[in-house]
Chains A and B, each alone.
Chain A
Amino acid sequence: VPRLAPTATLLATLVVAGCAAVPGEELGTIPPRSPVTAADRVPDHPIDAYDPWEGFNREVYRFNTEFDRAIFLPVVRGYEYVMPDFAERGVSNFFNNLREMRNAVNSALQLRGEAFGTAVGRFFINSTIGVFGLLDLASEFGYRERREDFGQTLGRWGVGPGPYLVLPLFGPSSARDASGLAVDTAMVNLVPGIDYINGEVYSDPAVYGLNAVDQRHQIRLEYYQSGSPFEYDLVRFFYLKKRELDVMK
Chain B
Amino acid sequence: MQRAVALGLVLGLSLSDALATEPAEPLDALAYTVVQTPPAEQVPLPTLSRDRNVRSGLVRPFPDRVVPDVFWFDNDGVRYGLVYQNRPAPLVVLIAGTGGSFNSESNRQIARALYAAGMHVLGLPSPTHPNFIINGSESGVVGRPPDDARDLRRVVELALRQITDGTSVTAVHLAGFSLGALQAGWLAELDARERRIGFDRVLMINPPVSLSRSAAILDDMFDRNVDEDPRAVAALVDRIFRAFAAVYSPEEDISLDGEFLYRAYETIQPSDATLETLIGIAFRFSSTNLTFTSDVMSHAGYIVSPDANLTYATSLTDFFKHTIRKSFDDYIEGIYLPHFQARIPGFDRARAIEEASLLPIEGFLRNQARVGLITNRDDIILAPGDLAWLERVFGERATILPSGGHGGNLLRGDFVAAVAKFFRG
Are A230 and B288 touching (Cβ within 8 A)? yes
Q: Is A233 an interface residue (CB 8 A)?
A: yes
Does A30 lie within 8 Å of B305, measured CB to CB? yes
A29 with B307, Cβ < 8 A, contacts A146-B251, A230-B316, A249-B249 known: yes
* B284 sits at the interface (CB 8 A): no
Would you give the 0/1 interface string for A27-53, flagging 1 where the beta carbon is closer than 8 Å to chain B? 111111111110011101111100000
B322 within 8 A of A: yes
Interface pair B1/A226, CB less than 8 Å apart: yes
Q: Can you name 11 A-B residue pairings with CB atoms under 8 Å? A: A22-B315, A23-B317, A24-B318, A27-B314, A33-B302, A41-B321, A47-B317, A145-B251, A228-B130, A244-B241, A249-B248
Decide yes or no: A32 and B306 within 8 Å by CB, A40-B321, A144-B251, A227-B101 being known contacts: yes
Question: Which of B249, B251, B317: most chain A CB closer than 10 A?
Answer: B317
Q: Does B258 contact A (CB under 8 A)?
A: no
Q: How far is the CB of A125 from chain B (nearest CB, A)?
A: 15
Number of B residues, CB within 8 Å of A: 60
Given the interface pairs A58-B312, A225-B1, the reply to whether A40 lies near B318 with Cβ below 8 Å is yes
**A143–chain B nearest beta-carbon distance, Å:** 9
A32 engages B130 (CB within 8 Å): no
Contact of B90 with A by CB under 8 A? no
Q: Interface on A for B, CB 8 Å cutoff?
A: 21-25, 27-37, 40-42, 44-48, 54-55, 58-59, 62, 65, 77, 80-81, 144-147, 220, 223-234, 238, 241, 244-246, 248-249
**Is B304 interfacial (CB-CB < 8 Å)?**
yes
Complex CA distance for A189 and B364, rounded to whole angstroms: 73
Taking A42-B229, A47-B321, A233-B317 as known contacts, 13 extra A-B pairs with beta carbons closer than 8 A to each other, sorted by chain A number, are A22-B313, A24-B70, A24-B308, A24-B310, A24-B316, A24-B319, A32-B303, A32-B305, A36-B321, A81-B50, A144-B251, A223-B73, A228-B130
User: Taking the complex as formed, is B115 at the interface, i.e. its CB lies under 8 A from any CB of chain A?
Assistant: no
A224 CB contact (under 8 Å) in B74, B230, B233, B238: B74
Determine which of B250, B302, B313, B318 lies in contact with A32 in the assembled complex, contact meaning CB atoms within 8 Å. B302
Are A41 and B305 in contact, with the CB atoms below 8 A?
no
The dominant DSSP class at the A interface is loop
Q: Are B51 and A80 in contact (CB under 8 A)?
A: yes
Complex CA–CA separation, A21 to B319 (angstroms):
13
CA distance A36 to B301 in the complex (A): 12
Give the CA-CA distance A244 to B315 in the complex, in Å. Answer: 24
A contact residues around B231 at 8 Å (CB): 42, 44-45
CB neighbours (8 Å) of B51 from chain A are: 80-81
Question: Whole-angstrom distance between the alpha carbons of A48 and B129 in the complex?
Answer: 25
Q: Which partner residue on chain B sits nearest A139 by CB separation?
A: B251
Within 8 A of A (CB), among B257-308: 285, 288-289, 292-293, 301-308
